[in-house]
Structure 1
Amino acid sequence: MHDRSSGEEALSPDALSEVLQDLRLSDGTYGRCELTRPWGIDLPPVAQARFHFVVSGDCWLRAPKRGWILLHAGDVALLPHGTGHAIADRARGRVTPLDEMPLEEIGDRAYEMRAGGAGARTILVCCSVTFAQPAVHPLLQLMPPMLLVRGGGAEDSVLPVLLDAMADEVLKRRVGAATVMTRLADVVITRVVRAWVESRKEDADGWLAAIRDPQIGRALAAIHQRPGDPWSVESLADVAKMSRSIFSERFAALVGAPPARYLARFRMNIASGWLRDDRVTVAEAAVRLGYDSEAAFSRAFKRFSGVPPSSLRRQGRDEGSRASRARGP
């Protein structure tokens, strides 16, 4: 095994940064909530991630498996799996289902909510966001039901600035606010996730430990950034600057799967997203992901998912058609 020089140690954060680039948002709705006591909202489970930022005042959040948690101005809560939860002016307060709350559309994918009584005021930025191809990213599978950053992130000087900009966009109702919010939310959520990853330094194995490893992290980043390259165990070992045998052994010990299996699974997850969204043909997916032929790709895909890729593409087209018909004004 190659010795880990100080230069190699410095590359580990870069590997994490490269992989975090895959964690993108594809869609979202954004809202300004002005709530005066007494108030409470019950938010059902959804396929999207939920994001709450306390602009001013305070509130309580009933978090999955954690009970009621007090949030103050500057706090950020991210529920990456869209787990059902509640927010209210006090712990165990009365809550109203979200679909019964008054919502006013103030732009494309933006809304405003005003509710409550005559008591103290709390202003929240509340977002529902969709991760692009969530099945692709191992981080999403590892995240807990809620990530909480106190005070805008005491160890991240940039996060409070981004959150201030997000609040400003919502409060002032500027033209194009939804577009700006999309960009801001992308960066904010990435930084919240990064803070969570960096707090998990005690993990001795698993994907997080692998991406932090100066050598295995290089190989993982290469797979994520260039999944269509003609990777072999030998070429990935070269990226990691390790011998083939030691690389294979260490990769499997940290990640929980051999390099070839991890690569194949990652490619098939990417292909599933492409085909389900009807963005590419089966032949195009095969070329982009480095397969010699459409037939070879189709065989690999069926081994992975149990269905041929053409079936998944038809299914995605049918679902898109039904969603289009169901979309109201």
Structure 2
Amino acid sequence: MTVQPPDMISELLRGMRLSGVKYRRIETTAPFGVSFAYVAGKAQFHFVSQGTALLRMESGARFTLNTGDALFIPNGNAHALLSEENAAVIPVSAYPSESICNSVCAITCEPCPQSDKTVIFSGCMDFELGGMQPLIKAMPEVMMVSRLMSTWPEIHPLLAAMERESMTRQVGFAGILARLADVVAALIVRGWVEAGCGKATGWVQVLRDPRLSRAIYAMHQQPGVNWSVAELAKEAGTSRSVFAERFLSATGTTPAKYLSELRMRLAIQYIRHENQPIETVALRLGYGSLAAFSRAFKRIVGQAPGALRETIPLAEEI
């Protein structure tokens, strides 16, 4: 009997979270230039609800944006939005802003005529993929929603709703916009993965290799098991040496180290998002004692697990 490869896309999306989101509604007129700095561990999102803009990445890549365009920058690379190539650029943080609700603020660069203004809804957020966090680094610099429009038509009404909410500014529009932006960003990521992850290499091999997928999936389903290389090779249906070599080539790490880091990413999720007791998390993830779990957590994450309940987590989490 042929064993079907596990659904790694569902596993990936199950762990995806966009949290700590701060949005800005930017209203301006040409000429304008607004820059967004790189923030470690953050993703950025833009939606043009009126007008046009030029997206210029720090790498030199350029994209023309029109009304209704949305994009996701998964690794938060520095970039700027401009009316034209030679427009003067000012950091977005330098503009005065007015709070609309607890997650959205309004920025009006300068008074402008209704017909000539450009309106952009922008967000900066924590982007997490749970146990599959390494995949983020394999994602393209910019992910454009326009590349998904023909394949995933359900995006059209969401973008239309965002445009309407941003322009009419009815009661509660800011919160609705933020929710819609979360969904659009998630659809952009899903579309990229379902389309085969473009030309990405490295960790993406896990999604493309059914043998590796079975082993990785087993670890994700039972992270509390102390998996040996031999046991994982059996899951993959290959020899121990072939599996170890293929795993290292695809992920850049060993199965033991991957399992340890997977456990810590899941621990962060269970403690921070699900508010599970730390001792419960330790036992769930295969540690014989709270002390053993705490030592492993501090070694890999860089802080004690209790700090997740007391402070904002470090941006450089694994």
Give the shorter-chain TM-score range. Answer: 0.7 to 0.9
Q: Once the two structures are aligned, what percentage of the paired residues are identical?
A: 36
Matching of residue 296 in structure 1 with residue 292 in structure 2: yes
Q: Deviations over 1:36-56 (max 9, x none)?
A: 222221223334321111223
Q: Secondary structure at the match of 1:260?
A: helix
Q: Which residue of 2 aligns with 1:326?
A: none
Between 264-273 and 284-293, the greater mean CA deviation after superposition? 264-273
After the TM superposition, list the runs of 4 or more consecutive aligned residues in structure 1 that deviate by more than 6 angstroms. Answer: 133-136, 273-278
Cα deviation, residue 249, structure 1: 4.4
Tell me the equivalent position of 1:158.
154
TM-score, normalised with respect to structure 2: 0.78
Q: Deviations over 1:71-106 (max 9, x none)?
A: 122322222232322112111211222233242222
Superposition pairs of residues 266-277 of structure 1, within 5 angstroms = 266-271=262-267
Is it true that 1:218 corresponds to 2:218 in the alignment?
no
| Structure 2: distance between partners of 1:125 and 1:320 | 25
From the superposition, tell whether residues 185 and 271 of structure 1 become closer, same or farther in structure 2 (CA, over 3 Å). same
Q: Is the 8 A contact 1:211 1:220 kept in 2?
A: no
5 Å-filtered alignment, 1:131-142, equals 131-132=127-128, 137-142=133-138
Number of aligned residues: 309
Secondary structure, counterpart of 1:69 in structure 2: strand
The residue number in structure 2 matching 1:70 is 64
Pick which of 256-265 and 233-242 moved more.
Answer: 233-242
Aligned: 1:146 with 2:145? no
Say whether residues 1:40 and 2:33 are aligned partners. yes
Is residue 312 from structure 1 mapped to residue 304 from structure 2 by the alignment?
yes
SS in 2 for 1:42: strand
Residues 1:110 and 1:264: Cα distance change in structure 2 (over 3 Å): same
Alpha-carbon RMSD: 3.5
Post-superposition shift, 1:280?
A: 5.7
Q: 1:140 offset after TM fit, Å?
A: 1.8
Query: Do the aligned partners of residues 221 and 185 (structure 1) sit closer, same or farther apart at CA in structure 2, a change above 3 Å counting?
Result: farther
2: CA distance, partners of 1:16 / 1:133 = 11
Secondary structure of the residue that 1:215 maps to in structure 2? helix
Counterpart residue number, 1:95: 89
* Cα separation, partners in 2 of 1:213 and 1:276, compared to 1, 3 Å: same
Q: Indicate if the aligned counterparts of 2:138 and 2:202 stay in contact, CA closer than 8 A.
A: no
Match status 1:61 vs 2:61 = no
Q: Is the 8 A contact 2:51 2:67 kept in 1?
A: yes
Contact 1:276 1:313 in 2 (8 A): no
Q: Would the aligned equivalents of 1:60 and 1:69 in 2 still touch at CA under 8 Å?
A: yes
Unaligned runs of 5+ in 1: 322-329
State the TM-score, normalized to the length of structure 1: 0.76
Letter in 2 for 1:73: T
